[in-house]
Amino acid sequence: MNKIALVSEISGSVWKINCNIGDFIEEGQEVLIIESMKMEIPVTSNVSGTVISILVDEGEMVNEDQKLIELDKKD
């Protein structure tokens, strides 16, 4: 398994999660949205792979560089 973590680039609240465990995510696909200072900031995947864990819940406050989602990277 080649585990990759997607992290938050900004502090804020998880507004919407756009994936589920087991989903295949393409590089560049939006996986969730963080709301910060009344702006919606999309978090996109920088790799293709399968979602193996979602480490946050909708409405949860997150910090910059916090792990959000783990993917099994496609080779």
Which are the contacts of 38, defined by CB distance < 8 A and separation ≥ 6? none
The candidate with the shortest Cα–Cα distance to 6, out of 74, 59, 73, 60, is 73
Q: Residue 29 has which token pair?
A: 């696909």
**How many secondary structure helices (H) and strands (E) does the chain include?**
0, 8
Taking only the tens place, the pLDDT of each residue in 28-72 is: 999 999 999 999 999 999 999 999 999 999 999 999 999 999 999
pLDDT score at 27 = 95
pLDDT score at 75 = 74
pTM of the predicted model as reported, rounded to 2 decimal places: 0.91
